[in-house]
């Protein structure tokens, strides 16, 4: 789990779409600065890393040649991936639900070279303020997908704003991790929870109001929601933890990364 706050209570219980969105928007607003302070040097200001294994888009090329593409990033955080694409001559819009994350991204823009600066918009990945078929590519690196109750809606929205033949690529926590404690050490190598239990992970305050929520889908669930959105899954990338990379990120660590996958990257296409 990404949460680093000290919740009154962490539990598993239903968390409907509106409750999830309110909790996570508030949580990411509160965490925006500390997320950048903690992870900004790993992520870079104008760099594109798909997850804690440090797979770079420069090497993976899951989005194809960025030059000339019109691209939408959802759950962009401070927008470093969008900046990398802009620096490689794509036309990019970075979006995020959290005003705090957007504000951080706008502040970082001021510190980078002008050709890497990108426009930001604050919006929910489940309701995009863009016309149908306006983008060649939609993507997110660890944004939106695990933080919504209705990820099928995210897939449908991405499909709607993509032009025919365009691609939607998203990375997220590998579903198998749901079964294991979020422990970077040996304790994180023993399954303790059912992979098949979709009950969300919820942190809540003393009154029982959710303050942070993560939702789980099995691999099969993801394939079905991609297909239901009219997209075609063309690859599922499970980055291995590389030799020489010894920087953990929360529960993602070299120890666990060499045994079980930590990230899943779904590469989808909208049929031409
Ligand atoms: C783990 S951060 C990843 C940020 C960025 N992609 C990165 O690699 O640093 C998750 C992001 O998803 C955003 N997010 C959560 N729910 C969202 C939603 N429903 N719509 C859009 N963004 C959302 C959060 O505000 C946060 O910026």
When pLDDT is averaged across residues 96-121 and rounded to a whole number, the result is 97
CATH of the domain at 93: 3.40.50.150
In three-state secondary structure terms, 6 is coil
Ligand 1: residues within 6 Å at CB? 2, 21, 24, 28, 43, 74-77, 96-98, 101, 124-126, 140-144, 147-148
- Identify which of 143, 173, 210, 213 to mutate to test ligand 1's pocket (most ligand atoms within 8 A of the CB): 143
When pLDDT is averaged across residues 118-135 and rounded to a whole number, the result is 98
What is the pLDDT confidence band of residue 2, given thresholds at 50, 70 and 90? low
Quick check: is 4 in a domain? no
Number of structural domains, the chain?
1
pLDDT computed for residue 7 by the predictor = 52
Quick check: is 3 in a domain? no
When pLDDT is averaged across residues 85-89 and rounded to a whole number, the result is 98
Quick check: is 153 in a domain? yes
Residues 150-205: pLDDT tens digits? 999 999 999 999 999 999 999 999 999 999 999 999 999 999 999 999 999 999 99
Quick check: is 180 in a domain? yes
Domain ranges, residue 224: 9-269
Burial class (CB in 10 A: 0-12, 13-18, 19+), 165: exposed
Quick check: is 45 in a domain? yes
What is the pLDDT confidence band of residue 4, given thresholds at 50, 70 and 90? very low
Quick check: is 132 in a domain? yes
- Could you tell me the sign of the dihedral formed by the alpha carbons of 18, 21, 25, 26, in that order? positive
Quick check: is 2 in a domain? no
Quick check: is 140 in a domain? yes
């Amino acid at each position: 789990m990404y949460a680093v706050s000290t919740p009154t209570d962490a539990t598993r219980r239903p968390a409907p779409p509106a409750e999830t969105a309110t909790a996570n928007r508030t949580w990411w607003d509160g965490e925006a600065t500390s997320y950048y302070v903690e992870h900004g040097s790993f992520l870079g200001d104008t760099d594109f890393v798909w997850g804690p294994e440090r797979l770079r888009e420069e090497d993976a090329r899951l989005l194809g040649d960025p030059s000339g593409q019109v691209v939408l990033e959802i759950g962009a955080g401070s927008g470093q991936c969008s900046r990398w694409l802009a620096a490689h001559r794509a036309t990019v819009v970075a979006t995020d639900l959290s005003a705090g994350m957007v504000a951080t991204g706008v502040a970082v823009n001021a510190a980078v070279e002008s050709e890497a600066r990108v426009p930001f918009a604050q919006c929910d990945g489940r309701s995009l303020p863009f016309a149908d078929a306006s983008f060649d590519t939609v993507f997110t690196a660890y944004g939106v997908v695990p933080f919504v109750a209705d990820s099928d809606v995210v897939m449908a929205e991405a499909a709607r704003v993509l032009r025919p033949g365009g691609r939607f690529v998203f990375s997220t926590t590998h579903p198998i991790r749901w079964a294991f404690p979020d422990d970077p050490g040996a304790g994180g190598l023993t399954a303790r929870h059912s992979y098949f239990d979709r009950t969300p992970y919820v942190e809540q305050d003393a009154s029982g109001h959710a303050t942070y929520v993560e939702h789980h889908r099995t691999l099969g669930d993801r394939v079905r929601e991609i297909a239901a959105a009219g997209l075609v899954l063309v690859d599922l990338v499970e980055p291995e933890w590389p030799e020489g990379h010894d920087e953990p990120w929360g529960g993602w660590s070299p120890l666990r990364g060499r045994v079980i996958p930590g990230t899943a990257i779904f590469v989808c296409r909208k049929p031409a």
